[in-house]
Amino acid sequence: MHYEADTHTHTLASGHAYNTIMEMVQAAAAKGLKALAITDHTKGVPGHEMKGAPGDIYFRNFVVIPRDINGVHLLMGAEVNILNGGSVDLSERALRQQDIVIASIHKQCYDDEGLETNTQALLKVIENPYVDIIGHPDDSNTPLDYERLVAKAAETGTIFELNENSYRDPGLRKNCKENQLTYLALCKKFGVPVTIGSDAHFMDVVGQHEHNEVILKEADFPMELVMNTSAEKLINYLKARKARFLQA
């Protein structure tokens, strides 16, 4: 299977990734990708900081960046931090301007509160119209009730992510494979779309999805629900989501 898009990558701006936007685009073009999402980290809140990540203004000036470079369509966005209580750490003004928004739990910015409270927080994030993708919800260190979350995502059109980084560092996330298989089965049942993201923090792994591809096969997951199989499908899906709140 050829995947045309990588929906989750980081640049120098994140503070702990090491390439420029142009280097990431060149890597994507070299791998034959047609779309690349740049989703740098946001900076958290006092007491729960993502150190080194840029402030709101960084995410409000993407108008200066061309969206088609070297045959690659760029989606300029953010990987925002889910905060306790289910809010995220980017202003509404900035959120409205993103081409793509991933919201993820990171331990720097979120304290585990147990399955029920974590699930309540995530339900609120899924209801946030600016959040397109729930990033790497696959870590048993912050347990979640997947059935309720995927059922909610079916109502809102929110995408669930398979994240390749969950496999690069074995100590990073607990039971990630098992959890991914659980929510993939539910996404299949409820017709919820998924994305696969390299979560590259260096250009050599842009477009790298090999563990995620294996999981998709293992889950016998329908390819029409995988947004990365076609750049056009992904771009149109995100545009349609955005149109809903821009009209509101």
CB 164 within 8 A of CB 198: yes
Please name the residues in contact with 65: beta carbons below 8 A apart, sequence gap of 6 or more. Answer: 21, 74, 76
Task: Please give the Cα distance from 39 to 58 (Å, whole number).
Answer: 12
Tokens (6 digits) for 196: 């696969």
If one asks whether residue 79 binds Zn ion (CB under 5 A), the answer comes out as yes
- Kindly tell me which of 133 and 219 has the beta carbon lying closer to Zn ion: 133
Minimum distance, C-beta of residue 39 to Zn ion, in the bound complex (Å)? 6
Minimum distance, C-beta of residue 105 to Zn ion, in the bound complex (Å)? 8
Which part of the chain contacts Zn ion (CB under 5 A), choosing from 143-151, 170-178, 193-201, 215-223? Answer: 193-201
Q: Within positions 97 to 116, which residues make up the interface with Zn ion, using CB under 5 A?
A: 104
If one asks whether residue 138 binds Zn ion (CB under 5 A), the answer comes out as no
If one asks whether residue 89 binds Zn ion (CB under 5 A), the answer comes out as no
Taking CB atoms, the residue at the shortest distance from Zn ion is 104
Task: Residue 129: count other Cβ atoms within 10 Å of its Cβ.
Answer: 17
Which part of the chain contacts Zn ion (CB under 5 A), choosing from 28-36, 75-83, 120-128, 211-219? Answer: 75-83
If one asks whether residue 212 binds Zn ion (CB under 5 A), the answer comes out as no
- Kindly tell me which of 4 and 79 has the beta carbon lying closer to Zn ion: 79
CB 131 within 8 A of CB 80: yes
Longest dimension (CA), the chain: 46
- Kindly tell me which of 151 and 172 has the beta carbon lying closer to Zn ion: 172
- Kindly tell me which of 6 and 199 has the beta carbon lying closer to Zn ion: 199
Angle between helices 210-218 and 176-190 (to 10 degrees): 50
If one asks whether residue 199 binds Zn ion (CB under 5 A), the answer comes out as yes
Strands (E), 11-127: 35-41, 44-45, 48-49, 68-69, 72-81, 100-104
Give the number of residues in contact with Zn ion, rule: CB under 5 A.
3
Minimum distance, C-beta of residue 10 to Zn ion, in the bound complex (Å)? 6
- Kindly tell me which of 4 and 138 has the beta carbon lying closer to Zn ion: 138
- What does the CA dihedral 119, 124, 126, 132 come to, rounded to 10 degrees? -130
For binding to Zn ion (CB under 5 A), which residues are involved? 79, 104, 199
